[in-house]
Structure 1
Amino acid sequence: MLDRPVQSRTPLATAEPRPFAPRPPLGPGAAAPGYGESYAPAIEPEGMSVGVLLATLRRRRWVLILCALLFPIVAYVATRQMTPLYTATTKVMYDRQEYSDPVLRGPTAVLQDGTTDAVLASQVEVIRSLSVARRIVRQFELTRRPEFAWWLRDAERAGTLPFRIRAELADRLAPWSAELAELVAPRPIARTPPEERAEISAAEAVLDQLLVAVVRNSRVLQVQFTSEDPHLAQAVANLAAELYINDQLESKFAELRRANDWLDRRVAALRGELQATESRIAEIRARSGLARGVAAGIGTEQLSRMTADLTAAREQLATAEARLAAAQRGGGTDLTALGAGSVTAAIAAQNEAQREFERLSATYGRNHPEVRAAAARLAAANRAAGAETARVVSALTAEVQAQRARVASLEQSVRSQQEVLNETQAAEIQVAALERDAEALRALLRAVLERSQQTVSQNAIERPDARVLSPATLPVRPSFPRVTAFVAAAAVLGILFGLLVVWVLEQADSTIRSGDDLRGALGLPCFALIPTLRKGILGRHRAEDYVVRKPLSPYAEAIRTLRAALWLGADPPRIVLVTAARPGEGKTTTSISLARSAAMNGERVLLIDCDVRQPGVGRVFRAEGAPGVTDLLLGQATLEDILRRDHLTSLDYIPAGAAEIHSLGLFMSEAMVALLERVRRDYDLIVLDAPPALAMADARVVARLADATLLCVRWRDTPRSVVRNSLGLLEEARARVVGAALTRVDAKVHRRSGYADSEVYHPRYGGYFRE
């Protein structure tokens, strides 16, 4: 018997009512009740740590191993089914040669400011141009290879078995249903496209397999071509590089040709301009007289002499005009001044005759013969003076006219000479300008001719901007598929997928897997982990008899642990109800094992089967059909009539009795309360085997009458939501759920799970047990 005195029996009439401590509602951090009025806090489950992670992987290791092996195997088989591809690589060095001649950098040459990333990217696109691809197609007749001609690959489909089957089936269905035959018939074989379109399609396929990239931090272009034929891959890679270099050289030659053509046109234009300029000079010389040797200095000297003569003539004309004016005014003095002696003598005779006439007139009067004779002489003198004066004026007039004619002639000559001189000077200025233009044209023509000679010589030394560093060699190993890399990647992917599956399984697994899970999910203490009894361990024994047959086994020790947990509370219960959330949890086996284990410890134990609809105690003890608790509650039997003794231990038990009754009303009756109070006085421990609490109301009613309720939870089988729901129903019935037990635990699996309570099944404790 346990080292704890059994409480004295209390008569039914004097027994004090058992205090009831309601359980607080479940929730995060909710407390679990003890055996008295105190409640123990729920133990939080262990957080994610390296140990927990390793334990999880250890539990799910077969899933991880399966994924880690399945993926590489599938990858290996798949790679073996793939057509191998071979890649050949040619490396080209790009080194742009800039023209030093500014003429070649002129309108016909392409300007590039050094080798930049944009320049290298442009070269990549040049190599991958459609024109290069089409020349590759023509060179190797790739339109005849199914690898590059999709219509040839489609034609191969006609020889496949599915195509023939569908075609035959369509032919058979055609007489019956044209629509069904069209639906079943295979897709028609594609026709060969026109030559131009076929070449473009093959060129596009070539571009898909032609990879050109710039080696990082360099000017090296890497040309790669992938094909099913390694020889074709090598040839195409080398040809692409060769075409690129040849195109560059041809482009340079074209630039030089364009430069030469431009220079030739420039030379012809300069020669034409020079010839036109020289012709213009000759024409101006011929028109201006410069061709006859007339110099600007001679014309200027002649103009100076003519100007001096003109000045002198103008002075003489002025003198003649003054004398003429004086002669025309009359007067002896003026005429004398003119130097005319005859005029002076005539004027003197005239003056003398005038004085004589005036004297005689003053002396004799006007009619005196001497006065008239003097008047006649005066008149003759006047006539003689007038005639002489008229002669002098006429001479002076003639002289003035002559001088005027001379002045006019000289003025005309000066004007003519001035015009000639001006025309000559303008011609000389124009000729000088034209001669300077002609000299400039000659100099430019010489420079262009020199540039033309340089461009002609450039053809002999021109080289492309790129060169082959290393030609492609024949690939001996396929570049695709890389079996080792694929298998390694598949292994990594398999491990990652396995980890994902493990995580999903862990998240999807809502069952309770350890005592920590139970405490975290329900807030209840886990009293024991009851191991499952395999057939190999049981042998000829039954699971209910194993605790008796093998009292030193781990199973018997787990049952004793459960009994100790019930006894170690502040108020050890006498009436313990054992129930579960649903059938198959092992509650009946646990009830019988707990009762037998307590009886083997020397306690007075009574086992009552309260599961009326599916009684298990009577089946185990071979008491089916015997009167039981229902008969007692109906008043059809006494306690002594239904009380039976276990044939292996000192355990007393009461079968369920008649099943075809309304048991709920019986358990709610005063007779049931009286029964429990009576047996409480006679036994140290009363174990009630109740039906599942989730579906049957009987369990909740009987749990209300028990001192403590033990909830059995099947390890890694019952969902947490189901257990929580059943626990909630028991709490609503104000049952005192003191703890739970994990049943049917696989000891080997749980030992490798990594949970803290798996230590119980470690082999190091093997010396304490005897199977």
Structure 2
Amino acid sequence: MPMNIQTERGRSTAPDWTMSMFVGQRDDVIRSLGHIKRRWRLVLAILVAVVLATTFIVLQMPPRYTAEAKILVDPRSARFLEEQTPTMPGMLVDRESIESEIQIITSRQLAARLVDRLNLIEIPEFNAELATPSFINVAAWTAQARAYLERTFGIGGDTEVETGIDPDARIRSKVIDAFSKNLSAVREGQSRVITVSMTAKNPVRAAEIANAVSEYYLVDHLDNKLAQRRRTSKWLEQRLAELKTAVAASERAVEDYRRATGLFETQDDFGRVQRLDTQQLTKTNSELIDARADRTHLEAKLREAEASRSRGQEDVPEVISSNVVAQLRAQETRATQRVADLQSDYGPRHPRLIAAENELVEIRTNIKKEIARIIAGMRNEVARARARESALETAVKQFERKTADQNSRQIRLNELAREAEANQQILEQFMSQTKQIAARQALQEPDSRIIAYAEPPVTPSWPKKQLILLVAALGALMLGSALVLFLERVNSAVRTESDVEEATGLRVVGVIPSMGRRRSGASLTRAIVKHPSSHFAEAMRSVHTSLLMDPSGTPPKSILITSAYPGEGKSTVAACFARAVADQGLRVAIIDADLRRPQIAKIFGLGDKPGLSDLLLRQASLQDVLHAEKGATLCVIPSGSKKSAPANLLAGDGLSSLFAKLSEHFDLIVVDTPPVLVVSDALLVCRHVDSTAMIVRWNDTGREDVLKGVRQLREVGANIRGIILNVVKMRDYAGYSYSKPNAYMRAYSRYYRS
């Protein structure tokens, strides 16, 4: 169950780091504004001083007037080479072009020409050496001082001689600088209009110079345009001559290479342009194909004839178509008929029959011989066909090797041909451009024109008095605020509880409000009695409550009150604290242990009555030094008569017995001691008390001083209960300590009024 509660609590109260960062920044801003508000007199003094000084300077400034002329940059009036050829791009009305024209208008070269043309060296406004020195004319004062030193002592006059600069050239250079400083040219929005502005003390002179700049720019632009055209024409002529030479050289290289390599071209039967070796290869390949077909055909007929002969058949077309074989067949037929006729008439041995049979045998022998001769002829034709095919194959291989070599040479020839063709195209393009330029040579109108001449201005453009005063006032406020923040930054005085905790690690047990500079300690103690509900009395009671809250649970019986330095109000706080505690019904004894500069007797009006020093020297008893306040449970032990060695008195054993006796009769013992960083008295007394509280004057005592005092008390074993901030201006304290000081002060004041 506790775990669940812790989870829910963490989920509901876990701060978002972004929100905490925003709150921290807001608090820093509010705190800075509080610092400025507290030192508003310093900020106001700086503001008044700066505004008065600025007003005086502005009144001394001579008025200056700005005249404006407007130039329209319009390339449509005369566009030169509008095709943006590689030789000379046309004028483009874009941002870069307008900016380039502005740079020309404000160039030093144009300014130098106008200075000479308008003789501005003789005008004191531009020549500082001729100007009359005034309160704010630093340039005139400098020039006059330099001239005086040169004339009187010769100082500064050797610079021009040593560097080789003519004094007149130096003056002219400075006049050009002054002219350029007052000349400006800007583009009007996204338009093609350039506004030329000239600032001068004389409004008429400002208008004249602005118009002169505009007119001279147009003339200079036109001259440059014509010169550029002449340079372009000359360059084109030279380039044309170079291109013609390059074209002739490239064409000559193509022909020379063609003749050297034999890469000649002819037209075939279909009108196609081919290389000669390629045509020969094609033709030979065609003949080789025909030869192979003939050889195959002859071999087929030979095989058929030989196969028929081996079968005893004579039906081969070549044999059948032979006239000799046909005649022999006819003779064989007749001889066979005659043999048959003789066999029927004669016997087998008849001479006529034998002669006829022999004739038949002879005819048949001749037929076989003729068939053999025909087959032999076919074999010869096959052999001739094979020989022709072989010869054609050899020729084809030779042509192929030659064609391969020519193809590699053809690559170089193609490169030369392409180079010649490219040169020819460039030549034709330049010739066309040259004709276009020649056709436009008569156009001499400028690309810009003045659309509005400058007129003498009526009102000055400088100084802008209201703007300058406003800027000066804002700057003064920023300077004053920065000075205030710087002073607050370097101020190491204790102002908040966090300052105390960071410096010493101790807590603030009370915040005593300031009651005015003229209030004495006696009047403050009486105020606690007369006004017990005041915020001052309540602050004293709060200190008592905080000091009583001991971690061990045992309230202290004795409290030592000290400070780092004198003047921090420790005695007043001790007296008022004792009075406030006594008014609560407690028996309180206050001891003034500051034997060097005692204040307690003065606050309570005791005069020179015996006190602590007399008691410690045993010149008076305890009853003699205890002085009771009327109507209160408060007894005062003053410091007594002054002695030469207070530290020796306080170092003795008398204090221990004194505190022991007082503890039996009083509820609280308050001890006022000297400042801890001035003398060691407080270090001697703190060993005999239960608790120690240190008074720190708000916004006065430094953190390092507080830390030194606390460190010394700790070294002797003092039980430091906390720090009491004294003489606190609550309104300023709220600004340092709270994010909403105004709300805090309203609630604080309303509470105590009620």
Tell me if TM exceeds 0.5.
Answer: yes
In the alignment, the residues of structure 2 paired with residue 551 and residue 132 of structure 1 have an alpha-carbon distance, to the nearest angstrom, of 89
Q: Which ranges of structure 1 fall in alignment gaps of 5 or more residues?
A: 1-45, 171-180, 266-445
Question: Which of 524, 529, 533 is matched with 2:506 structurally?
Answer: 524
Question: C-alpha displacement at 1:704, in angstroms?
Answer: 1.7
**Paired AA for residue 590 in structure 2:** L
- Match for residue 747 of structure 1? 730
In the alignment, the residues of structure 1 paired with residue 520 and residue 646 of structure 2 have an alpha-carbon distance, to the nearest angstrom, of 37
Map 1:613-624 onto structure 2 (within 5 A). 613-624=596-607
**Paired AA for residue 56 in structure 1:** S
Map 1:10-89 onto structure 2 (within 5 A). 48-61=24-37, 62=40, 63-67=42-46, 70-89=49-68
- Match for residue 294 of structure 1? none
**Paired AA for residue 562 in structure 1:** V
DSSP 3-state at the match of 1:691: coil
Going from structure 1 to structure 2, the CA distance change for 1:526 and 1:254 (only over 3 Å counts) comes to: closer
CA displacement, residues 142-172 of structure 1 (integer Å, 9 cap, x when unaligned): 2232111122026889x99x99xx99xx9xx
Question: C-alpha displacement at 1:222, in angstroms?
Answer: 3.3
- Match for residue 121 of structure 2? 143
Question: C-alpha displacement at 1:201, in angstroms?
Answer: 4.2
User: Is contact 1:57-1:64 (8 Å) kept?
Assistant: no
In the alignment, the residues of structure 2 paired with residue 636 and residue 470 of structure 1 have an alpha-carbon distance, to the nearest angstrom, of 109
- Match for residue 625 of structure 1? 608
CA displacement, residues 482-520 of structure 1 (integer Å, 9 cap, x when unaligned): 233323333433343233223212211111113343333
In the alignment, the residues of structure 2 paired with residue 69 and residue 136 of structure 1 have an alpha-carbon distance, to the nearest angstrom, of 45
In the alignment, the residues of structure 2 paired with residue 132 and residue 83 of structure 1 have an alpha-carbon distance, to the nearest angstrom, of 28
- Match for residue 464 of structure 2? 482
Going from structure 1 to structure 2, the CA distance change for 1:79 and 1:186 (only over 3 Å counts) comes to: farther
User: Is contact 1:99-1:105 (8 Å) kept?
Assistant: no
Going from structure 1 to structure 2, the CA distance change for 1:761 and 1:586 (only over 3 Å counts) comes to: farther
Question: Which of 162, 168, 180 is matched with 1:207 structurally?
Answer: 180
In the alignment, the residues of structure 2 paired with residue 718 and residue 49 of structure 1 have an alpha-carbon distance, to the nearest angstrom, of 28
Instruction: Work out which of the two has the higher radius of gyration on C-alpha atoms and give 1 or 2.
Output: 1
In the alignment, the residues of structure 1 paired with residue 444 and residue 195 of structure 2 have an alpha-carbon distance, to the nearest angstrom, of 24
In the alignment, the residues of structure 1 paired with residue 603 and residue 236 of structure 2 have an alpha-carbon distance, to the nearest angstrom, of 119
In the alignment, the residues of structure 2 paired with residue 578 and residue 534 of structure 1 have an alpha-carbon distance, to the nearest angstrom, of 22
Question: C-alpha displacement at 1:260, in angstroms?
Answer: 9.7
Going from structure 1 to structure 2, the CA distance change for 1:599 and 1:245 (only over 3 Å counts) comes to: same
In the alignment, the residues of structure 2 paired with residue 756 and residue 136 of structure 1 have an alpha-carbon distance, to the nearest angstrom, of 65
User: Is contact 2:30-2:739 (8 Å) kept?
Assistant: no
Going from structure 1 to structure 2, the CA distance change for 1:701 and 1:199 (only over 3 Å counts) comes to: closer
DSSP 3-state at the match of 2:458: coil
Work out whether 1:515 is the aligned partner of 2:515: no
User: Is contact 1:576-1:688 (8 Å) kept?
Assistant: yes
Question: Which of 221, 225, 244 is matched with 2:217 structurally?
Answer: 244
CA displacement, residues 577-636 of structure 1 (integer Å, 9 cap, x when unaligned): 111111111110011111111222211110111001111112223334332212222222
Question: C-alpha displacement at 1:130, in angstroms?
Answer: 4.4
User: Is contact 2:35-2:488 (8 Å) kept?
Assistant: no
**Paired AA for residue 466 in structure 1:** S
User: Is contact 1:531-1:558 (8 Å) kept?
Assistant: yes
Question: Which of 550, 558, 566 is matched with 2:539 structurally?
Answer: 558
Question: C-alpha displacement at 1:663, in angstroms?
Answer: 2.5
Question: Which of 479, 496, 501 is matched with 1:497 structurally?
Answer: 479
TM-score, with structure 2 as normaliser: 0.60
- Match for residue 381 of structure 1? none
Q: Which ranges of structure 2 fall in alignment gaps of 5 or more residues?
A: 1-21, 161-165, 239-430
User: Is contact 1:52-1:755 (8 Å) kept?
Assistant: no
In the alignment, the residues of structure 1 paired with residue 625 and residue 652 of structure 2 have an alpha-carbon distance, to the nearest angstrom, of 18
In the alignment, the residues of structure 1 paired with residue 588 and residue 56 of structure 2 have an alpha-carbon distance, to the nearest angstrom, of 66
Map 1:368-379 onto structure 2 (within 5 A). none
User: Is contact 2:510-2:724 (8 Å) kept?
Assistant: yes
In the alignment, the residues of structure 1 paired with residue 740 and residue 222 of structure 2 have an alpha-carbon distance, to the nearest angstrom, of 82
User: Is contact 1:577-1:703 (8 Å) kept?
Assistant: yes
- Match for residue 679 of structure 1? 662
Root-mean-square deviation (CA, aligned residues, Å) is 4.5
Question: C-alpha displacement at 1:688, in angstroms?
Answer: 0.3
User: Is contact 1:51-1:754 (8 Å) kept?
Assistant: no
- Match for residue 642 of structure 1? 625
Going from structure 1 to structure 2, the CA distance change for 1:694 and 1:187 (only over 3 Å counts) comes to: farther
CA displacement, residues 75-101 of structure 1 (integer Å, 9 cap, x when unaligned): 344333223322223332334444359
Going from structure 1 to structure 2, the CA distance change for 1:615 and 1:56 (only over 3 Å counts) comes to: same
User: Is contact 1:54-1:754 (8 Å) kept?
Assistant: no
**Paired AA for residue 483 in structure 1:** K
In the alignment, the residues of structure 1 paired with residue 55 and residue 463 of structure 2 have an alpha-carbon distance, to the nearest angstrom, of 10
TM-score, with structure 1 as normaliser: 0.59
Question: C-alpha displacement at 1:57, in angstroms?
Answer: 1.7
In the alignment, the residues of structure 2 paired with residue 144 and residue 213 of structure 1 have an alpha-carbon distance, to the nearest angstrom, of 28
User: Is contact 1:264-1:452 (8 Å) kept?
Assistant: no
Map 1:152-191 onto structure 2 (within 5 A). 152-153=130-131
**Paired AA for residue 595 in structure 1:** A
DSSP 3-state at the match of 2:178: helix
In the alignment, the residues of structure 2 paired with residue 506 and residue 232 of structure 1 have an alpha-carbon distance, to the nearest angstrom, of 54
Question: Which of 708, 712, 737 is matched with 2:720 structurally?
Answer: 737
DSSP 3-state at the match of 1:762: helix
In the alignment, the residues of structure 1 paired with residue 634 and residue 654 of structure 2 have an alpha-carbon distance, to the nearest angstrom, of 23
**Paired AA for residue 602 in structure 1:** G
Going from structure 1 to structure 2, the CA distance change for 1:664 and 1:256 (only over 3 Å counts) comes to: closer
- Match for residue 698 of structure 1? 681
CA displacement, residues 436-467 of structure 1 (integer Å, 9 cap, x when unaligned): xxxxxxxxxx9999999856xx54x5210212
Map 1:73-472 onto structure 2 (within 5 A). 73-96=52-75, 97-100=78-81, 114=92, 119-153=97-131, 199=172, 201-214=174-187, 219-253=192-226, 454=439, 458-459=441-442, 461-472=443-454
In the alignment, the residues of structure 1 paired with residue 541 and residue 645 of structure 2 have an alpha-carbon distance, to the nearest angstrom, of 35
Question: C-alpha displacement at 1:699, in angstroms?
Answer: 0.3
DSSP 3-state at the match of 1:124: helix
DSSP 3-state at the match of 1:584: coil
**Paired AA for residue 82 in structure 1:** M
**Paired AA for residue 180 in structure 2:** L
CA displacement, residues 350-388 of structure 1 (integer Å, 9 cap, x when unaligned): xxxxxxxxxxxxxxxxxxxxxxxxxxxxxxxxxxxxxxx
User: Is contact 1:529-1:742 (8 Å) kept?
Assistant: yes
Residue identity over aligned pairs, in percent, reads 29
Going from structure 1 to structure 2, the CA distance change for 1:92 and 1:637 (only over 3 Å counts) comes to: same
DSSP 3-state at the match of 2:131: helix
Going from structure 1 to structure 2, the CA distance change for 1:634 and 1:142 (only over 3 Å counts) comes to: same
DSSP 3-state at the match of 1:542: helix
Question: Which of 498, 516, 525 is matched with 1:544 structurally?
Answer: 525
Going from structure 1 to structure 2, the CA distance change for 1:115 and 1:701 (only over 3 Å counts) comes to: same
Q: Which has the higher contact order (CA 8 A, sep 6+)?
A: 1
Question: C-alpha displacement at 1:138, in angstroms?
Answer: 4.6
Question: C-alpha displacement at 1:763, in angstroms?
Answer: 4.2
Question: C-alpha displacement at 1:686, in angstroms?
Answer: 0.6
CA displacement, residues 206-260 of structure 1 (integer Å, 9 cap, x when unaligned): 1222123455655443322221222222221221111111222234455677899
Going from structure 1 to structure 2, the CA distance change for 1:88 and 1:757 (only over 3 Å counts) comes to: closer
User: Is contact 1:89-1:222 (8 Å) kept?
Assistant: yes
- Match for residue 710 of structure 1? 693
In the alignment, the residues of structure 2 paired with residue 625 and residue 196 of structure 1 have an alpha-carbon distance, to the nearest angstrom, of 92
